[in-house]
Amino acid sequence: MIDDPALFDLRHQARDGSPPALYRLASALVLRHQMAEAFVLHRRAAEAGLANAQIEHARMLMYGVGCDADASQAVAWLLRAELAGSPIAGYFLALIALGGQALPRDGRINERLMLAVRAEYPPALRAVAMHFGRKADRDDQARCMQWLERAAGLGDAVAARLLAERLQRGEGCRPRPDAAAQLRRQLAQHGVGPLPSVAVPEFVPINAQPGQLQMEDVLQPVDLTLQSARPHVLTVDGLLSADECRLLIAASESRLQSSRTIDPNDGLPLAMDLRTSSDASLDPILEDVALRAVQLRMASAAGVPLSHAEHLTVLRYEPGQEYRPHRDYRPPGSLERDRPDAGNRLRTICVYLNEVQAGGETEFPVAGLRVAPRPGRAVIFDNLHADGAPDVDSLHAGLPVQRGVKWLATLWLRQAPYRNF
Ligand SMILES: O=C(O)CCC(=O)C(=O)O
Ligand SMILES: [Fe+2]
Mutate to test the pocket of ligand 1, among 344, 362, 414 (most ligand atoms within 8 A of CB): 362
Tell me which of 312, 394, 410, 414 to substitute to probe ligand 1's pocket, judged by most ligand atoms within 8 Å of the beta carbon: 410
If you take atom 5 of ligand 1, which residue's CA is the nearest one? 398
pLDDT at residue 197, rounded to an integer? 87
Convert the pLDDT of each residue in 162-205 to its tens digit. Answer: 999 999 999 999 999 999 999 999 999 999 998 988 986 555 65
For residues 50, 52, 54, 56, the Cα torsion angle rounded to the nearest 10 degrees is -150
Best CATH choice for the domain 215-414 from the list 2.60.120.620, 3.40.50.620, 3.40.50.2300, 3.30.420.40: 2.60.120.620
Specify the pLDDT at position 207.
67
| Lowest model confidence (mean pLDDT) among 27-31, 108-112, 259-263, 405-409 | 259-263
Ligand closest to CA 398: 1
Nearest to 231 by CA among 380, 399, 412: 380
Nearest by Cα to 121 from 160, 99, 147, 82: 147
CATH topology of domain 5-110: 1.25.40
User: What was the pLDDT predicted at 249?
Assistant: 96
* Residue range 393-412, pLDDT digits in tens: 999 999 999 999 999 999 99
Spatial CA neighbour of 180 closest among 188, 194, 198, 168:
168
Which residues contact residue 96 at a Cβ distance below 8 angstroms, ignoring those fewer than 6 apart?
A: 62, 71, 74, 75, 78, 102, 103, 421
Residues whose CB is less than 8 angstroms from the CB of residue 93 and which lie 6 or more positions away in sequence, other chains included: 75, 78, 79, 82, 103, 108, 112
> Which residues line ion ligand 2, judged by CB < 5 Å?
328
Average pLDDT, rounded, for the chain: 92
Q: Is the CB of 401 under 6 A from ligand 1?
A: no
pTM metric for this prediction: 0.93
Confirm or reject: Cβ of 362 under 6 Å from ligand 1. yes
Our CA dihedral for 319, 324, 327, 331, rounded to 10 degrees, sits at -120
Query: What is the pLDDT averaged over residues 343-351?
Result: 97
Q: Is 123 in the pocket of ligand 1 (CB under 6 A)?
A: no
Mutate which of 371, 381, 408, 411 to test ligand 1's pocket (most atoms within 8 Å of Cβ)?
408
Q: Which amino acid is at 177?
A: P
State the complex-level ipTM: 0.99
pLDDT of 134-160, one tens digit each? 988 899 999 999 999 999 999 999 999
The mean pLDDT of 119-131, rounded to a whole number, is 97
